[in-house]
Chains A and B, each alone.
Chain A
Amino acid sequence: MTRRVAVTGLGVVSSLGVGTRAHFAGLREGRSGIGPIELIETQGLSVPIAAEAKAFDGAAYFSKSELMMRDRVTQMALVAGEEAMAQAGLASGTAAGADGAQAQVDEALGVRSGVVIGTSIGGSQTVDEQYRLLYGERKNRVHPFTVPRLMANAPCSHLSMRFGLMGPSWTVSTACSSSNHALAQAFQMVRSGAVDVMLAGGSEASLTFGVLKGWEGLRVMAKDACRPFSKNRSGMVQGEGAAILVLEDMAHAQARGADIIAEIIGCGMSSDASDIVKPSQDGAARAMVWTLKDAGINPEDIDYINAHGTATAVNDSTETAAIRQVFGVHADALAVSSTKSMHGHCIGAAGALEAAATLLAVRENLIPPTINYEEPDPECDLDVTPNTARERQVSVAMSNTFAFGGLNAVLAFRAV
């Protein structure tokens, strides 16, 4: 059985704001969500900026007892999931659930629905806080919910519990590609007929002292701004957030009269099998080629690519070369952009937040920009939509993720 796969819901938490409306507004305006770190103590950090979701406060959505059991990575996933399911019209209610009256999907659909969530680090705030107690303060015990809070599958499990989704559910961890892998697997599950609905995307809340020191150690962090594809780019900027999509059998969505945001038409996955940090042009190119084959389309059919575009020296030149390798002369007709310039690199949530940006492009025929673009780089010579969003017909768009460890996942979306 091969079915078409509709996107019928979207929810977002990012440094551009809470909710899809805020995320989209930031992307349209070319607004930067990157700024001085405010949510944690910065003494001892040599990189003082990040894309913190400053507007997100879990206490606004969850009771005290719920917060005790939910790391920020789970809180963000639940709030994004709530918005996505409400938009899809499948279940809606308060995330806090204080009144116990949360809407869930009916049981018949619940057993035909699952959850796949990408996260690279999982409950890193829990890890950070509890390690600080043990090693810093020499405490002898940690919070009793440490394990259920920190486990990487906690966001997936809480979404499953919240909405009564009882089908195949799991967590994917492939660094920067985590949520594209999650979306790709969810897409394949719906397409194959294994399920009717999948809640899929990613969440990352790893702007903790320990994790940021780890990134500092690699010496690939920018200290002022994220400038993808610009010759003066100086590295990546870490971010946090979550984006959750509802993927649904097209016939099922049409039968119930759902608003269909867009269609996912293909995915491609590959491994560089070469280096643990340095990306490979061939690996990236193969993931894009497989996506085109999987979708049954030609390179000329693609209008827009939401690039991985991390703003490291090597990613952006390698990705440019890979796009040229795959698209040939059509590469110069493509609109390309890296929205990481605005919402930062949200690692395990990156693919999902960029899927949201890609949905904006196909839904509104608007290319979100690559902001902070200052100097052309001959090695990054695509049309990267510098600094200002641009109107353009977008029928089919692609979203790239290429992870540390060489694990690549690419998705193709089509306007409906």
Chain B
Amino acid sequence: MSIRDEVIAQMQRVAKQQSKRLAPLTDETPLLETGLDSLCLAILVASLDDELGLDPLSSETNTHFPSTVGEFIAVYEAAAADADV
């Protein structure tokens, strides 16, 4: 599964678990309009750490917090690329 697919799958899983309705997602959808609140996002980040071994938002080099779904996915894709090098 690609990083993008894994992120989307975990978003759907967390939304279901937290009884939230996930908005139709595009790269431009702001994170705060996905239907996931900050607790959901916190759980999402922890789940992605468990599934992918990546926690780029906790990394010391991370200064920019993503504000859209596309940016969020891009942060994980960049971290995965870094991890592969």
On whether the two chains bind one another, the answer is no
A-side residues, CB < 8 A to B, are none
